[in-house]
Structure 1
Amino acid sequence: MRSGFFKQRYSELVVLTDSPAVKVWTVLLLCALVAAPAFLGPFLLGHMTVILFTVVGALGIMVLTGFTGLISLGHVGFLMLGAYAYAIGVSRLGLPPEIALVAAAIVPAVFGLIVGLPSLRLHGLYLAITTLAFSHIVSAALLAGGKFTGAGRGITIARPTILGMDLSSDRAFYWFCLAVCVLAVLVTLNLRRSYVGRAMVAIRDNDIAARTMGINLVRYKLLAFLISAAITGVAGATMAMYIGIVSVESFPFLLSIEALAIIIVGGIGSVLGAVLGTVFIVSLPEVFSALTSFMGGRLADLMTTSAHEIKSVLYGLAIIAFLRFDPRGLRGIWHDIRHAWVFWPLRY
């Protein structure tokens, strides 16, 4: 039984994990995810695909809000920019899908720097309102873009062939989303344990103390916006490939609320929390829909006639419940369960 966490070298402090059990379970989980399409039906496979590219978007806002403490209500704007950058790249400019996917990260990153400038003087609610205004500006600009952006009709795109892999089938696209998700998780984990990540966390905890210790607030706040927007833009591009059409109506404000709900429910500042929160929040409406269908009557028509409103209520209830009863989120609950298992029966 493990009795301590004594470290002898600095490299042991920054390693992703020093637990053989965690490494084994991680490999088993990845093997299960790779083999999942062979056992899942079309509905569950589609649901898993949505979870995978939503995890990428959640990691984007986790860098900004979870790591750096900068609240954003307009992250859907970066999601739209990533989706439209990819769609315009492949359909209007004739770029290869690989280059268009890179553009889907670069374009939101540039706008992230622009939006990040007000964060140097704004905090809390004022910054949140600024980012919200940014998302509305992006929506209005895309609607006024005429034929280039598709205006209200949007842009129709087909699933591409990337690096020789045809993504037209649901299985192939699932594996592509899995690869993107794993890459995003690794990037975010390594960012968190780097000097840049530790500086972001220091700014989140106390920006005055961080500046006193020599951390450049301007540099790291702008870096947080840049990295967050780039990751979110990639999520927007994969979402566009999945839907098949890019339009402003596909990116409602509810997506920003969903992103905040994910990091609150999962656990603020944790990559594991972003993953757990995504699984919970994305599955919550489906579970509610299954329950109402089982109960029958008028409840069975709720998710059909008022799906948007029901999702808003469910997300709000989830946020309130976790903030009231366990602000640590699902990550904290998971750590309690793991701690009880590892140290049983000595835990008290």
Structure 2
Amino acid sequence: MSDRIITFSEATREAMIEEMRADKRVFVFGEDIAKQGGIFGQFTGLKDEFGERVKDTPISETALVGAGVGAAIAGSKPIIDLHFADFIGITMDEILNQMAKARYMFGGQASLPLVLRAPDGSMKHGAAQHSQSLESWFMGIPGIRVVIPSTPENGKGLLKAAIQDPNPVIYFENKGLFPITGHVPKGEVITPLDKAEVVREGTDVTLVSYSLMLSKALNAAEHIQRTYGINVEVIDLRSIVPIDTETIYQSVKKTGRLVIAHEAIKIGGVGGEIAARVAENVWEYLQAPILRVGAKFVPVPFSPPLENYVFADEQEIIATILKSVEKREKVTK
């Protein structure tokens, strides 16, 4: 396989095309996807090749998810586009009481191969109702998988794996990822739905991140290495249900320190769950307190300076890593 550079939007569109060609049960529906090609261009051209298997729908997220659940139980493999994950709240009954539970309530006799594409995160001045990261809401709902890509390559790989999986998958994709370019191999690309990836090896601090925040985490790690000689290991989470705790545990056993960074609000976020599991299972390896980086506990403002203030940046990640090392030095003196 050879690499080429394409956008995240192109990579995910390629994933859908490949799966729709391979399996006629796969179809796509959502708001403004057939004629417009999606708000981020991720569905452009699908209608031309697949016709009625790509459908525009009314603006009703509740109806979208409910129809998707019914179609999946009946034997189809729907890909549903929510337009914006910010409005996923009105679909909670369908997700919580239908999508997540149907397979259990039918005693395992029914599969539910459904993918819910949910663009989340900040979109530059999207303000309070279009800038939210809500992925942690779904960590306590058994019966669904939740994945969250960070690059065009794993964007394609995770989406293909999600479409092929017999379980319902919520696929959170940060709105800022769609124009991002990256290397994507030609041919089959499948990314496991339950595995994190060590994207930068290190020995001094473990830094766990995901989605668009991963690029900031990697930049912070490089700066820390150049400026302070601190070697940071960076893990791309990729899946938050389930969490690949073993990869995190092995890294923490090596480094003795853990920092978790995500775009979502720090309070009640994915970072808190990871911190709890590490504290419960490998606390004896920790040489410093677990630290978290995330957005402030406030609705996202429209004002650009205030928006920048709410979201964590590379400088905050750098400062938190240095704080972790400083605490270790105080403990070991």
Structure 2 length-normalised TM: 0.31
> Which is richer in helix?
1
Structure 1 length-normalised TM: 0.30
